[in-house]
Amino acid sequence: MDTEIGSPAVNITIFAIFVAITLVIVLRASKNNRTAADYYAGGRAFTGQQNGIAIAGDYLSAASFLGIAGAIAIYGYDGFLYSIGFLVAWLVALLLVAELLRNTGRFTMADVLSFRMRQRPVRTAAATSTLAVSFFYLLAQMAGAGGLVALLLGVTDRGGQGVVIGVVGALMVFYVLVGGMKGTTWVQIIKAILLITGAFVMTIWVLAQHDFNLSQLLGAAVDSAGGAAGLLDPMNQYGATDTSKLDFISLALALVLGTAGLPHVLMRFYTVPTARDARHSVTWAIALIGLFYLLTLVLGYGAGALVGPEEILGAPGGVNSAAPLLAFELGGTILLGIIAAVAFATILAVVAGLTITASASFAHDVYANVIKKGEVAANDEVRVARLTAVVIGAVAIVGGILANGQNVAFLVALAFAVAASANLPVILYSLFWRRFNTSGAVWSIYGGLLTAVTLIVFSPVVSGKPENPETGRSLSMIQDVDFHWFPLDNPGIISIPAGFLFGFIGTRLSKEYNKAKYAEMEVRSLSGAGAEKATVAH
């Protein structure tokens, strides 16, 4: 097939218009960035509805739009399991974490974890895990950017795609440096509205071509795949061997438990003034995210029916090209340009959210509270956060170039596994286990993090997978070597229980226990009394 889809000039023009609009918004928002609370938490000036839309914008990443649509187009039912996992995960966040976290902390996850413990070791550990999760998530977004540009601009050589990934990274760093959390939030709100609207229009268009009959659409997708009825059956991708079944359980655990440990999602709870607004944020987010994932089911099978698996896999962006190719099939060059701009907006908004979270964690937790022991001017702290954002942007660009070509939904699942292993156990223990202490927190974070990262490094994801016959490249990140010994693609089934176990062992090995501080934390987490700018929600 052609390496160029649609008109690169139209694609670039539509994208440039979007970038120009968002830059104006970011520059306007930056005028109000006077304090650390403005930079990190948007001055806590957003309503529950606004924050819920922004959370949806932050959460519906390139994985949701490009990766899941592609997975459904190629694997059918098993691709939709990503959507189910990503959505069900919000119940854990809503019921166990959102309100309590908002009441207890100020800017970062570490504020909660260190509340009743020794500050320096816990903050250092929490910042380390935040940076690790953000890195894996950034990999996915950057890989999505590379694949998208390969498709839209006909840039097929990896060097050219690397340049484009660099441009996306530079743009995102600018958003964060100038706009802080306020600018980032408004970009996410606009992007969420554009993404859901674009997906809705395409869904109606696809259904109209099949007489608004879902069965007819599913039948067309099966026919297009050469009669592969497995597209409609569960375990088409994961049911072949015992290892693949274990991999599916591991993936499901990571998806369902990972959201409540994602630092960039947790940080969004601090941008609202009350705990009630934090709850409203999550209910708005669940409604919008649930709607979007229902749309991806139609988009994925629509791409399979109207474009076909062979053409999707043969495109420069591989499996991540399904949604843009479907847009081109439906509405030609203009619709492709619009959907491509929305996908780019998705990547920019999510990456900006990740970058501000990681930079805030380093500046607020490591620099201000560990290195300077809390004696630091707010301006200095924000300056360090901005410097950190530049470094994180550079690391993300290099990582994105390495991960280019991987399915972004899959890469995000790795970030979820690390978050569920390193962050979720310590958050739940901190909020609900009276006896939990500093030793347990440090053991839990480092134990879960090291277990997850080690298993990922020595998994088939990094080395040892066979070549893709379509592209001639290995399906692993590193080509032409094989040092893997862990058989599963996702480490969640081992690393998540390990995080809980390490936390339990570490707590039992130490006699430390601050009863008064736990009582204070319990009252604050349940009522909001004493939290910064918090009001008691009746």
Confidence of residue 205 (pLDDT cuts 50, 70, 90): very high
| Structural domains of the chain ordered from first start | 8-527 (1.20.1730.10)
Is 538 in a helix, a strand, or coil? coil
CA distance 448 to 453: 9
Confidence of residue 452 (pLDDT cuts 50, 70, 90): very high
Q: Contact 104/432 with Cβ under 8 angstroms?
A: no
Confidence of residue 507 (pLDDT cuts 50, 70, 90): very high
19-25's contacts with Cβ under 8 Å and 24+ in sequence apart are 19/171, 19/348, 21/190, 22/175, 22/187, 22/190, 22/345, 22/348, 23/174, 23/175, 25/179, 25/183, 25/186, 25/187, 25/190
Confidence of residue 287 (pLDDT cuts 50, 70, 90): very high
CA distance 449 to 440: 14
**What tens digit of pLDDT does each residue of 15-63 get?**
788 888 888 888 887 776 666 666 766 656 788 888 899 888 888 876 6
Residues in Cβ contact with 522 at an 8 Å cutoff, skipping those fewer than 6 apart: none
- Residue spans of alpha helices (H) in 374-407: 378-403
Confidence of residue 109 (pLDDT cuts 50, 70, 90): confident
pLDDT above 50 for 535: no
| DSSP category for residue 405 | T
Please, how many CA atoms are within 13 Å of residue 227, restricted to the half-sphere of its CB?
Answer: 0
The type of residue at 499 is G
pLDDT of residue 534: 40
Q: Contact 289/90 with Cβ under 8 angstroms?
A: yes
> What is the C-alpha end-to-end distance of the chain, expressed in Å?
61
Where is 8: in which H helix or E strand?
Answer: helix 8-30
Please, how many CA atoms are within 13 Å of residue 78, restricted to the half-sphere of its CB?
Answer: 21
pTM, entire model: 0.81
Burial classification of residue 232, based on how many CB atoms lie within 10 Å of its CB (0-12 exposed, 13-18 middle, 19 or more buried): middle
Backbone angles phi, psi at 469, to 5 degrees: -60, -25
The type of residue at 326 is L
In this prediction, residues 191-199 reach a mean pLDDT of: 90
